[in-house]
Chain A
Amino acid sequence: MSDDLKIPEGMADDRGSTLDEEAKATDRFVDDLAAALGAVERGDVAKTVSFRDGRTAALFNALGENDNELQQAVEDARAAAGVDDDSEGDRSELLRLLVRLGLNEVTPRLADAEKQARMQRIEDDY
């Protein structure tokens, strides 16, 4: 119990309030995400993602022509993601894994929210 601690003034503001606000904002985001997952499942929202970037387009175009490079990259991405799979990979899987890894490494907060949203969906199903 922290109630019986004496807390320096400078530290008192750091507790509770800001974290609570953050937590509420996160909860809302998780709710929206869970709803979006539902929309995708029902087919109301497309399952594809596209974005405009010439360099990435060139890279993936060349990977399409060079299967060795592609398979090596898929293998590295699977290893990094801890996926045990020896089957042949494709460009879509590579992109998917890279985005996943990026989410986990760079924005763990988003990855976490997504996990929570999926849990919430599962719970809502019962």
Chain B
Amino acid sequence: MALKAAVFLDKGGTGKTTTTAHLGRALTELGHEGVLIDLAGKQSDLAKQFGMYEAQQQAIADGEDFPNLSSVFDDDFDKLVQMNGVDAILDRLIYETDEGVDLIPAHPGLDSVDGELNNVEDRTERYGRLKKFVETYLEDRYDFILIDLPGLSRIVPYNGVWAAENLIAPVEMGSYEFAQTKQLRDDVEKYRSNWGIDAELSMVIPNKFESGTNLADDYMERYTSEFNGAMSPDPIAKSQDIRNATEAGMTIFELEEPSTTAARAREAYLANARELVERLGGAGQ
């Protein structure tokens, strides 16, 4: 059983992509092999984070982008695999990043998948496609599978929820985010009862945390009392290095001379990754 989790909060910019990338890298650092799946939209932020955006866009421009993440949602994906063999298909679908973690990047084709699945009546067919793909092809090959979700509740992201079941929410210390996190917890209950899936809010990670400010301390207290079991061991500090590294197409684990804050953020990601393994099992443990 691989560790599976999806990073989600219904708000842009709280650090979903950053969290997916850095937890993935941290788990890699801890010796686990994993793959990241980018359902977060065709801006392909995870490919950017690992410096692979140009290569991927070139592949799209050259028509060498088949199969891709949108193919996984196709009725005939299994047939495609049967006709060509698993390795031929996964080789094309999965990119190897420079940081040891694999990536299935976003694809513009995902845009139309939502519309197509909208016409599918059967619930499992509609929401369970990614889950089937993950269980059939990825779970035996990897220790962990992390999914980056967009901040939007639609069919493709729900496929991510079905596939991962465990949700990780990166949150900022603000009233809107606090409300959204509570909403997410309520939604998770609804997923459980309406869909009969084992959804869980597994980890709430304070991000862009500015310790020592009253606001941060205040909210930390509110989050802790509201979500105590789900809180991550460490918050992730607000760090310009995180922004810079992202812009340079890497995680902060690649920085030669990280700032003190970035070094602390690394440690925090590692601690959170360890705790994730502890909570969710899997990851080859």
Known contacts A5-B88, A11-B74; A105 and B174 CB within 8 A of each other: no
Over the window 139-156 of chain B, the binary record of Cβ atoms lying under 8 Å from chain A Cβ atoms (1 yes, 0 no) is 000000000000110000
B109 within 8 A of A: yes
- Tell me the A69-126 residues at the B interface (CB within 8 Å): 76, 79-82, 101, 104-106, 108-109, 112
A49 within 8 A of B: no
Closest B residue to A83 using CB positions: B13
A16 within 8 A of B: yes
A54 within 8 A of B: no
Let me know if A5 and B111 touch, CB within 8 A: no
Q: What is A's interface to B at a CB cutoff of 8 Å?
A: 1-2, 5-11, 14-16, 18-19, 22, 76, 79-82, 101, 104-106, 108-109, 112
| Chain B: number of interface residues, binned into ranges | 20 to 34
Main secondary structure of the interface of B (DSSP, over half): loop
**Whole-angstrom CA separation of A108 from B106 in the bound complex:** 13
Q: Which of A2, A11, A79 contacts B174 (CB 8 A)?
A: A79
B57 within 8 A of A: no
Q: Which of B12, B71, B175 contacts A11 (CB 8 A)?
A: B71
Q: A18-B112, A79-B13, A104-B12 are in contact. List 11 more A-B contacts (CB 8 A).
A: A2-B64, A2-B66, A5-B80, A5-B88, A8-B80, A10-B79, A76-B175, A79-B174, A80-B12, A82-B13, A109-B111
Interface pairs A-B: 4 shortest CB-CB: A8-B76, A8-B79, A6-B83, A2-B66
B131 within 8 A of A: no
- Tell me the B91-149 residues at the A interface (CB within 8 Å): 92, 108-109, 111-112
Let me know if A112 and B64 touch, CB within 8 A: no
Residues of chain A contacted by B65 (CB below 8 angstroms): 2
Q: How far is the CB of B156 from chain A (nearest CB, A)?
A: 13
Choose among A14, A81, A82 the residue with the greatest number of B CB atoms under 10 Å from its CB. Answer: A14
Let me know if A105 and B151 touch, CB within 8 A: yes
Let me know if B172 and A79 touch, CB within 8 A: yes
**Whole-angstrom CA separation of A77 from B274 in the bound complex:** 34
**Whole-angstrom CA separation of A7 from B80 in the bound complex:** 6
Let me know if A108 and B64 touch, CB within 8 A: no
Let me know if B108 and A19 touch, CB within 8 A: yes
Choose among A5, A8, A16, A82 the residue with the greatest number of B CB atoms under 10 Å from its CB. Answer: A8
Closest B residue to A76 using CB positions: B176
Q: Which of A11, A106, A112 contacts B43 (CB 8 A)?
A: A112
B157 within 8 A of A: no
Q: How far is the CB of B253 from chain A (nearest CB, A)?
A: 22
Let me know if A10 and B74 touch, CB within 8 A: yes
Q: Which of A1, A15, A112 contacts B42 (CB 8 A)?
A: A112
Residues of chain A contacted by B74 (CB below 8 angstroms): 10-11, 14
**Whole-angstrom CA separation of A19 from B76 in the bound complex:** 18
